Amino acid sequence: MNKIIIAILAIIILGGGIYYWFFFGQQTKKIEEAITNLPTSIQSEIATDNLAVNNLPATNIKPDFQPPINRADERVTKKPFGVFITPQNSPIQPEKFSGFHTGADFEIFPEESNAEVEINAVCSGKLVLIKHVSGYGGVAVEQCELDNEPITVLYGHLKLASISLNVSDELQTGDKIGNLGMAESAETDGERKHFHLAFHRGEGIELKGYVQNQEELTQWIDPCLYICDN
């Protein structure tokens, strides 16, 4: 009985293969013959279109960027990119700033209050600034490329003493930049302990943490589009 069943299955599979070859093979042959009979100019256009389709770039692939801090997507809980902040509506009180937030703030976890929190390079590029900046405390700025366009990446609220790099150093994605500054100290310019990350279009260094209209905000890019998982 088993031999009969196996024989029947073999006949079905063989018959299906013959049908597929005959039907689809003949159809493919007819299409090829039809294309061959077309004018040369049209044949060239068809070949070019096929080449373009086969070489379309992949979409929804992030560039060579990575989070600057572990569990990055869990930390943007108070001031995401683009939120409009006033002293009245701010989740941080008291608040001394107002405007559209040009970056994303990454909060610390309770166990990190007195611990060293390392910040790493989100991309490969050249370090172009290391200094104390009003409103931030310690700041480092790196020049990178995003979608083949130049950007500057601002790393804010850093402990300058923890940065062992020099301006003009070349960084690789993941290289250590420094540690977060302590809360309410000169290292954070009196702010809470947190990390501010901003992507600004172009090669020029722009240090603004807030802008006053949405047109200005278009000069910045939401960093979470590239380094947050959610």
At 209 the pLDDT is 97
Cis peptide, bond prior to residue 150, ω within 30 of zero: no
How many CA atoms are closer than 13 Å to the CA of 14, on its beta-carbon side? 6
Q: Is the pLDDT of residue 59 over 70?
A: no
At 103 the pLDDT is 98
Find out whether 213 and 100 touch, Cβ atoms under 8 Å.
yes
Alpha-carbon radius of gyration of the chain: 29
For the chain, which residues make up each domain, given as ranges? Answer: 2-54, 72-227
What is the tens place of the pLDDT at every residue in 193-203? 999 999 999 99
Rounded distance between C-alpha atoms, residue 83 and residue 198, angstroms: 13
Helix (H) or strand (E) holding 214: helix 214-217
What is the tens place of the pLDDT at every residue in 118-142? 999 999 999 999 999 999 999 999 9
In this prediction, residue 54 has a pLDDT band, given cuts at 50, 70 and 90, of very low
Q: Is the pLDDT of residue 48 over 70?
A: no
At 215 the pLDDT is 96
- Name the amino acid, one letter, at 52: A
Helix (H) or strand (E) holding 138: strand 137-146
Residues 6+ apart with CB under 8 A from 168: 126, 127, 128
In this prediction, residue 52 has a pLDDT band, given cuts at 50, 70 and 90, of very low
| Record: fold of 72-227 | Glucose Permease (Domain IIA) (2.70.70)
Q: Is the pLDDT of residue 83 over 90?
A: yes
